[in-house]
Chain A
């Protein structure tokens, strides 16, 4: 710890953030460092940073030449410039669409809004950096088109399961307000004091379609007595919905509760909304929510860094819910760029995860795994070259159960396969690392994976067969798969392996590539 900085930090900690006028990424580092009060890991090296930020903002790993270029670049601001480049690039909207779709739909499906429409809608919204509150408002309510066709944002509430009002209420509360209120449907939550049955039905009522349903009666199974409520957000007041007579349909339309919810929930004045949003974007970049689990905001589960969450939420709101700004600021911080290796001499037990003393590794999502494996094995161009069929015959279930023999030959179907393997069952959030045996078996035995590791059409193994020098092979391998250069030990290992299996060199090359793909290092966004 540098003594001068300690004094400075102590002084600045007493000043309100607005007076200090630090940028958000500086506030992040200040708060993390202040609370950790112990040595933190240094920043990670360029190769690690590059892989991390590509995965987080582009949803893929970089190609070898991109890596070489970045490592060789001597520009002092190269990291900042890379962040800007990725946020402005074409991969960012796709990456965020994949993340948001998985987070908001939780792998639930529906047939009313075709997936391509939904994806296009999300990508466009993300590319134009649509304010987050506006996007959420659209997801909560968008007027159907005149032909009654559902509009793309309606998919959020149309996916299977959410036609049930209770599921709808619970999912909206979890995903948009950060509260898992399932246990407060039949009574006040038994263990979370803040989650009341009245709040549950306040939200339940807010999600109704017509003004005449804007009223709910409920009774606790533990406490006798009838209760009732109109639409109300937790911590808010009941909104007045007038009663309408026949002939007043046009007026009544203005008071459709879900329409009103779309205006009332995603606002800067709703602390639950902005805190939940800030927390989730923090988590996707940093590997853990400041409030964790992400859907358990309540007084008994305070944020690990309360002032930081306040600062993130407030700035996010004040910026007009500018997502790119928030992600950029997080990426610029030392905390984001910290190494995931613990400081020298520090034991795991002294570095609790929530201290951010070291960066928290994040599991690759199903989509990231797909892109990473395709990119790493050099099969992406070939998959892109095959146009996706207008209506694909490929289904994950049919393929896995042997009803289809044909392995996917195009990108879209390959994606479907990876998502089928690596995603969680519908309705289960994908936040924590799930080391499922099914994943390992897939990487070990799936014929498609093994095929990708055979030399074909300029893929990685194909290129490797054309290199003689083991050192060059090691370099090409590690750059392509692990986005870094190999160590001396690793080069030696490659050489030994090729030496041992020289009579079957091509297969040996495939084994080397496979081992890297199957490694914990690859599986993790460290």
Chain B
């Protein structure tokens, strides 16, 4: 029996239920999967594998205008600090909503990393900045697709980004193109996600089977990477077609749309929530243009609320759905911004001491790790590099980085930087 027929039926059923529920005038709140599927299946899904929400503010959000404010100091800028829901912990006044949820979060204020460039720094950070062994390491989403192949049929690594989508095979590094990221431009599904009415299930199964047979013959004594990638793209295409409900905006509750905000980062984080609810293992959400070399304070005034609001919303929603135990949340940039203010009233790149936020699976709640100097420029103690972060991430997801390794053409490779360890203070 074709594997696809089972799953197709399952998803058709759940989609009918979704539409049925709405038609029947059911809840105006969010439509969670758990409400729709049979209890046994819902339970199964609930104890599913762990997931990651990776939010990337590209360009370098200023830690002084967010998680590590230093008001009324030499470099602190004009914004105030406000208390959070954790006594003694203050954030910038630009993140009031997240401040209220600090009790669910862990903030590391002493990230201290090497690369102060975007073009080299961004991939370096997202590849875990391991020791240089002459191979291109995979981005985190690709790594997890390999280390923890998900048991569902969804793309393991989905990237919601502004602009155009596509398949980003480069993220997979030495793992091979198949482990690349499925990029959804503006969070939208690829075009052609709807199967033509002229193709029945039977026809589709038949032609896909033929295609697979032809490919398996073609594989003989050929390098596998491109063929694997091509086959994966068809598998992924079929999966996406079966789950087009995940992109149907008419299924969104207006209240959610309002809570997250209609700006791109708000919409994209709401889309991320849907994908996480559906079981996508790794969802990355990007926002660009945080690199405020010019007019830093005017720009952060407008930019920071764009993450504050939907981030608070998604923390709330994941918590409400009991998903914070399974989903690891990472919110970061490639570095922070200079305490020193430049001639355009801007801040430049600052990898010396910056902050990131973690939450969810395996993460301790309501803690701040590390302290920067009173002027915010340096780490006072406990410096952590990207390698530490990756060890921490792997550990929270149940992967022991000390015991696990890749095997690349016979070459064993550590999955995270040899000299780093998980950050204990941040782990539950």
> What residues of chain A have their CB less than 8 Å away from a CB belonging to chain B?
182-183, 190-191, 221, 340-342, 344, 348-349, 351, 353, 358, 361, 363, 400-401, 424-425, 432-442, 444-447, 450, 487, 489-490, 493, 497, 500-501, 507-508, 511-512, 514-516, 518-521, 523-524, 526
Contacts and interface: CB of A to CB of B under 8 A. Distances in A.
Interface residues of B, number: 57
Contacts of B233: 435-437, 439-440
Interface string B150-171: 0000010000000111110110
B214 A515 contact: yes
A514 B211 CA distance: 8
29 contacts: A183-B119, A190-B120, A191-B120, A349-B410, A400-B191, A433-B229, A437-B167, A437-B233, A438-B190, A440-B230, A441-B191, A441-B237, A444-B192, A444-B241, A447-B196, A450-B198, A450-B199, A489-B217, A493-B213, A497-B210, A500-B206, A501-B206, A514-B207, A515-B213, A516-B214, A520-B218, A520-B219, A523-B230, A524-B226
Contacts of B165: 438
A435 B223 contact: no
B203 interface: yes
Interface string B209-247: 011011101111111101101111110110011000000
Contacts of B207: 511, 514-515, 518
Given A183-B120, A434-B167, A361 B224 contact: no
A358 B226 CA distance: 15
B196 A438 contact: no
Given A190-B120, A435-B177, 7 more contacts: A361-B226, A437-B166, A440-B236, A444-B237, A493-B213, A511-B203, A514-B211
Contacts of B298: none
B221 A344 contact: yes
Contacts of A442: 191-192
B227 A520 contact: yes
Please indicate which of the listed interface residues A183, A361, A434, A523 has the most CB atoms of chain B within 10 Å of its own CB.
A434
Contacts of B203: 507, 511
B224 A520 contact: no
B226 A363 contact: yes
A435 B224 contact: no
A500 B221 CA distance: 31
Contacts of A344: 221
A439 B234 CA distance: 9
A452 to B, nearest CB: 13
Interface of B: 115, 117, 119-120, 155, 163-167, 169-170, 177, 180, 182, 190-196, 198-199, 203-204, 206-208, 210-211, 213-215, 217-224, 226-227, 229-234, 236-237, 240-241, 348, 409-410
Contacts of B223: 342, 348, 351, 353, 358, 361
B211 A435 contact: no
A493 B169 CA distance: 33
Nearest to A341: B221
B249 to A, nearest CB: 15
A438 B226 contact: no
A182 B120 CA distance: 11
Interchain residue pairs A-B with the least CB separation, the first 5 = A515-B210, A441-B192, A435-B229, A436-B167, A440-B237
A438 B192 contact: yes
Please indicate which of the listed interface residues B115, B182, B190, B194 has the most CB atoms of chain A within 10 Å of its own CB.
B190
Contact of A433 (B120, B177, B198): B177
A498 B194 CA distance: 27
B184 to A, nearest CB: 9
A401 B232 CA distance: 25
Given A342-B221, A521-B218, A425 B230 contact: no
B216 to A, nearest CB: 10
Given A182-B119, A441-B237, A442-B192, A520 B221 contact: no
Given A342-B222, A436-B233, A515 B193 contact: no
Given A342-B222, A441-B240, A446 B192 contact: yes
Nearest to A454: B198
B191 A438 contact: yes
Contact of B214 (A401, A437, A521): A521
Nearest to A453: B207
Nearest to A400: B191
B166 A434 contact: yes
B117 A183 contact: yes
A520 B228 CA distance: 9
B154 to A, nearest CB: 12
A418 to B, nearest CB: 13
A444 B195 contact: yes
A315 B394 CA distance: 53
Contact of A438 (B166, B206, B218): B166
A444 B214 CA distance: 16
Given A341-B222, A520-B226, A435 B192 contact: no
A340 B220 CA distance: 11
Nearest to A439: B233
Contacts of A400: 191
Contacts of A183: 117, 119-120
B208 to A, nearest CB: 8
Nearest to A361: B226
Contacts of B170: 432
A483 to B, nearest CB: 13
B142 to A, nearest CB: 14
